[in-house]
Amino acid sequence: MKQQGKLREDINLGQALESITIIFGEVASIKLRSLRAAVINNTLFYDDLALVFHLIKLEAQKLNKKPVKNGKILSLILTSNYRFYGFLNLAVVNFYLLQNLKSDAIIIGRTGQQLLPQLSSFIFQNDLPNNLELKQLVTKLIEYEQVIIFYPRFKSTLMQEPAIYDLTAQTNLPIQTNKQLGYILEPEIEIMLKFFDSQMIGVLLERVLLETEISRAASRILAMDEAQLRAKKFIKEKRKALNLWHNSQINKKVLETFAGYFSFKNSIYDKY
């Protein structure tokens, strides 16, 4: 009876795990759709902001002004605070190490902090930063001449891969336009240039963070699908074992019945 009870407990555990994987998978699917909408909104805002920043830079160039940087390169490695993303975090960290880049480095996320404790780290409360956390990180980034982000790029729901994104290069892309500001800038051009430079970096960083979250959501969907398959296999094996146990008990009772019958029959023959 102990074996039967243990098998039933295992089946209940497998069913509970299967239910959890289904719930986590559905949550990740919903999150994936909302993140895609957020990326579209970010792109629209970036297009408008990039145009204004471009016009301000043109005015600054006339005055031989440009943002003040420290001349250094910064590597920003994006990992998550949580697990359940398969090997995505480890893949990004290994990809960063393979580049052997000589630069300052900041790693984002508790997982990366555990994998590379020797690096400076920046931990958000959640995987996506709030406005204050994003602003604090941008304040660090705008000091650098070049900011290179290592992150998990979303290719499809079935494929995510480590990639490099040059954040500062994107802020310097030329824009084809015939528009001019046509008005006097207040405050001074240096302050305006610094403000819009930080805004551009903030918007682009947010886009990469959103794409990273999309990759994580897709990875979680795959991880939960695989876990669900394993749970189903586990349940199937335990049910098979339970059926075998039931059959063995039935066979045992049949044998005991026949043994009792023949014992009784032999005892009658012995009397006569």
The angle subtended at Cα 51 by Cα 49 and Cα 54, nearest 5°, is 110
Asked if residue 226 has pLDDT above 90, the reply is: no
Mean pLDDT of 170-174: 61
Per-position DSSP letters for 234-254, written without gaps between them: HHHHHHHHHHHHHHHHHHHHH
Neighbours of 206 (CB within 10 A): 20
The mean pLDDT of the chain is: 78
Give this prediction's pTM. 0.69
Residue type, 227: A
Give the helix/strand (H/E) hosting 110: helix 110-115
pLDDT over 70 at 55, yes or no: yes
**pLDDT (0 to 100) of residue 241:** 74
CA angle 186, 191, 195 (to 5 degrees): 105
The pLDDT of residue 62 is 76
Q: The sheet that has 159-166: what strands, in order across it?
A: 120-122, 104-108, 73-78, 146-156, 159-166
List the beta bridge partners of residue 160.
Answer: 154
Percent share of the chain, pLDDT over 70? 78
Q: Which residue has the higher pLDDT, 202 or 10?
A: 202
**Is 103 within 8 Å of 75 (Cβ atoms)?**
yes
